[in-house]
Chain A
Amino acid sequence: MSELDHAQTTRHIRVTVNGVQYERDVLTRTHLGDFLRQDLGLTGTHLGCEHGVCGACTIILDGQPIRSCLMLAVQADGAVIRTIEGLAQADGTLHPVQEAFWDKHGLQCGFCTPGMVTTLAAVLEADPTMDEVAIREAISGNICRCTGYETIVDAALQAASRMRGDH
């Protein structure tokens, strides 16, 4: 089979995204980020580099923050995924990380924000005791050109405190 024939190959996959089950035939060469955006219409996940450095495309897959541009959609068969669209509760109550981004001016253009928020939601849900150094380490794979990171870190610290149940 030539390279271009491969380009036509599809597979049937099942994924759960933000609590909804989807079954789709997907081109095997389609990366997960494109699948979420184009096939499922979930455009909140952004693509900033498509080579695994900027982190804008981060989603939470089976509890882990991962880069959706570095994974093929077929590899996600059977996975449970959360994207930025699925972080707030059904009644609109924001996730503590989202709330804190708003409070602390953790975003300007908002393009890196879905990746930042999903990364931080995943790591803080796992460990809300993270300090500034750990938080900076956790987002060291997410590039923001607008904010200089400080207000993102402040937002994460506020969210962590909320999630620990302080105050």
Chain B
Amino acid sequence: MGARYFGAAVKRLEDPKLITGRGQYLDDIAMPGVLHVAVVRSPHAHALINAIDASMAREHAGVVAVLTADDLGDMARKPMPMMAPAPMVKTPLTQSPLAHGSVHYVGEAVALVVAESRAVAEDAAAMVMVDYDPQPAMVDLAHALKDGAALANKALQSNLAGTLKGGFGDVAGVFAKAAHVFKETLSLHRGGCHAMECRGVMARPDPSGNRIDIWSSTQSPYMVRRALALCLGMDEASVRVTAPDVGGGFGPKAVVYAEDYAIPMAARHLGRPLKWVEDRGEHFVATTQQRDQLWELEVAADAQGRMLGVRGHCLHDNGAYLPYGVVLPVTSMSSFPGPYALEALEISLDVIYTNMVPNTPVRGAGRPNTCFVLERLADRVARELNLPREEVRRRSFVQSNQFPYETGMKARDGSPVSYDSGDYVQCLDLAVAKFGSDFKARQDKARAEGRYIGMGIASYVEDTGLAPYEGATIRVQPNGKVLLLTGAAAQGQGHKTVFAQIAADQLGITPQDITVEAGDTSLFPLGIGTIASRVAVTGGSSVHMAAVETRAKAIKVASQVLEAQEADLVLEGGFVKVSGTDRQVSLGQLALMLHGNFGQPLPAGIAPGLSATAFYEARQTTFANGTNLCEVEVDIETGAVKILRYVVAHDCGTLINPMLVDGQIRGGVVHGIGNALFERMIYDENGQPQTTNYGEYLLPLATEMPRIEIVHMESPSPRNPIGVKGAGEGGTIPAAACVISAIEDALSPFNVHLASHPVSPQDLVQLVDQG
């Protein structure tokens, strides 16, 4: 088999409809008779609900119903199940589909208004009178565990949801023998999802009440199905969940939300199809985000600047609830020790409840956080020892002869964390080479002219291809075209194209011959979701396995039909051919044969259908890595930061489609730049969100973003059949750390040390003035 498409920059199969306005995002789906829902949301960060009076809203022309938790019965009042249960949490809190008795963040869903149009539903939502009894709000993370701190929820004795601990080695011994120990106090904030398409849910109940069709703008249609089937007491086969075209996910759309429960419940209650589409104002307050982490850390280094050990403590704001368990803080924890071959590590992380929007992973999850703190420590070591920052990294990295490298950490299943492959030093050197060696001279020259440019660096390792599995079915149809079905839906990544590339090579056809259907639970039995840079590994491997099996079957049957040795057969242009002859049979003919005819047995030992289904189970993690370098210029008068260059050297194993990988990296880096410079979700001391539109909450724009220069290194993973590692988050993970490193370098004449992000121009002007 020659790889014609695997590895090539194949143009996307997804694009023709999307560039002509024929996409079908949730709000585009025509649904006869659909009613529209507006959600009444809590205006308080913490309050008891004394009563809800919906009488005026119910009488409003065009309103069909106003529904509260009491109207929808027990299931609407019960806390939603945690998506990843966390036994370590003593008081696990999740919200109920509609608030019942109390609310714990601004934006929590309280009631649904159902009307003939969304506009009317919104008019009437303003008429729902909720009698709240406001309670003190917990919004001050630093003081959350202090005596007298307001409790974020009456059910709590303390705002501490739980403490995660991780580490290895003789920490006290390593710190005692170390030539240098440095301490840092760091904090960071990551902001929200801001997919350009907000969330949305539509539900159509069957008149019999026995079935329901649900459309959700989700990364996890199978999780929605599982949750709804259990909650509604229905068979999974009777709950069909479709993720239509989804306009970006970035993590928060992997959560099963209150609306994912409440809209289907209400649709069943009313016996009518219902649609709710989140507007941007709601997105700011009701879609999960990542908030703050406050770190105290120490790093131990030897006299040569090799990092030996890290210890520290983190306060992690998880917001009002734990919809996703502690997956987010666990991801921060498990991202240690990054690319560094530490001898010892000791981290504890307190997960804190506050009265702000619940937290779940945003692109990179807790990894950019851990990357930021580790990279700040590495920069500190370099500065104190007067070493080039890249040299501290080279000396401290896991070395190429150490793979597979057991870090000392334990994976979730208790097995040792083991990095599979790579050469972190070489990857860093690729970035350094691309960046060029003239920076120092240019920096000196610029300073002489009163301009402040700086170079930033950040390195990372990312666990990708998260367990447990994804699967795929490949079915050749009698017309010779191939159907590829999978649970792994996309939100822009281009899964259809890469899956078709993988299968096309095996089957000797073109990607255009393959129709990929993903994200419809009625078409493929099981799936997990598109999160954690996992689908190229899990979904891609399952497609490969199913394609290999289908190919083997085609060859086996064709060898009987063509009376030829299997070894002499090749798949080419939609045919199985006897090589060197003109004898051939088309895949379509073979499929027709294996579809069977009345009364005629299939060939002995051959199961019906020219098809195969495979599940790839990710029992071992793959680890991508990379180093970013960037150059910034800081205007010391205005604090404006301009990113002049941005270089990425990265290694995500074998590339399936380099154009799409580059796209993931570029978008990811820009997200990280947003975290470094712009994105800041501010709450006031009462827990009122202050930045709820794109004038107040800034996203990266085209005028401010640099070109991203990318160098690929390919260290195939030995842990899956196609050698791939994930690429969805590798751009984001180091980007904020890299930009902050560069700004600090630019402002080093002023002794500026940056210990947090995002940094605003005002922050920088102030730091320069103090310097």
Q: A interface vs B, CB < 8 Å? A: 4, 7, 27, 29-30, 37, 41-51, 53-54, 56, 83-85, 87-88, 94, 98, 101-103, 105, 107-114, 117, 135-137, 139-140, 142-153
Contact = CB atoms under 8 A, between A and B. Distances in A.
A155 B69 CA distance: 50
Given A102-B15, A109-B197, A110-B492, 13 more contacts: A46-B25, A50-B279, A51-B694, A105-B663, A108-B248, A114-B21, A117-B19, A143-B196, A144-B196, A144-B702, A148-B667, A148-B669, A148-B670
B11 A102 contact: yes
B119 A7 contact: yes
- Which interface residue of B247, B666, B700 has the most chain A CB atoms within 10 A? B247
B492 A53 contact: no
B499 interface: no
A145 B16 contact: no
Given A46-B247, A140-B702, A143-B196, A107 B15 contact: yes
Contacts of A136: 702-703
A110 B245 contact: yes
A150 B704 CA distance: 11
The 7 closest A-B pairs by CB, nearest first: A44-B21, A109-B492, A111-B247, A110-B18, A108-B492, A84-B21, A148-B670
B641 to A, nearest CB: 17
Nearest to B703: A140
Interface string B14-41: 1110111111110110100000000000
Nearest to A53: B694
A55 to B, nearest CB: 9
B28 A102 contact: no
A146 B12 CA distance: 15
Contacts of B196: 46, 48, 54, 56, 109, 111-112, 143-146
Interface string B642-677: 000000000000000001101100111111000000
A108 B699 CA distance: 17
Contacts of A43: 21, 24-25, 27-28
A102 B12 contact: yes
Interface residues of B, number: 56
- Which interface residue of A29, A37, A98 has the most chain B CB atoms within 10 A? A98
Nearest to A100: B19
A111 B493 CA distance: 13
Contacts of B194: 145
Contacts of A149: 670, 700-702, 705
A145 B695 contact: no
Contact of A145 (B20, B245, B494, B699): B699
Contacts of A140: 701-703
B701 A143 contact: yes
Nearest to B60: A4
27 contacts: A4-B123, A7-B120, A37-B27, A48-B280, A49-B280, A94-B20, A98-B20, A103-B11, A107-B19, A108-B492, A109-B197, A109-B247, A109-B492, A110-B15, A111-B23, A111-B247, A143-B694, A143-B699, A144-B196, A145-B248, A146-B492, A147-B670, A148-B705, A148-B708, A149-B702, A150-B666, A152-B702
Nearest to A18: B21
B491 interface: yes
A150 B666 CA distance: 8
B195 interface: yes
Nearest to A142: B702
Nearest to A115: B196
A142 B491 CA distance: 19
A39 B669 CA distance: 39
B19 A94 contact: yes
Given A46-B247, A109-B196, A153-B702, A145 B21 contact: no
A136 B25 CA distance: 27
Given A110-B247, A148-B667, A88 B20 contact: yes
A110 B14 contact: yes
Interface string B190-203: 00001111100000
Contacts of A145: 194-196, 248, 250, 667, 671, 699
Contact of B666 (A46, A98, A112, A151): A151
A85 B21 contact: yes
Contacts of B383: none
B693 interface: yes
B246 to A, nearest CB: 7
B619 interface: no
Interface in B678-702: 693-695, 699-702
B76 to A, nearest CB: 29
Nearest to B492: A109
B154 interface: no
B177 interface: no
A48 B197 contact: yes
A64 B137 CA distance: 48
Contacts of B19: 84, 94, 98, 101-102, 107, 110, 113, 117
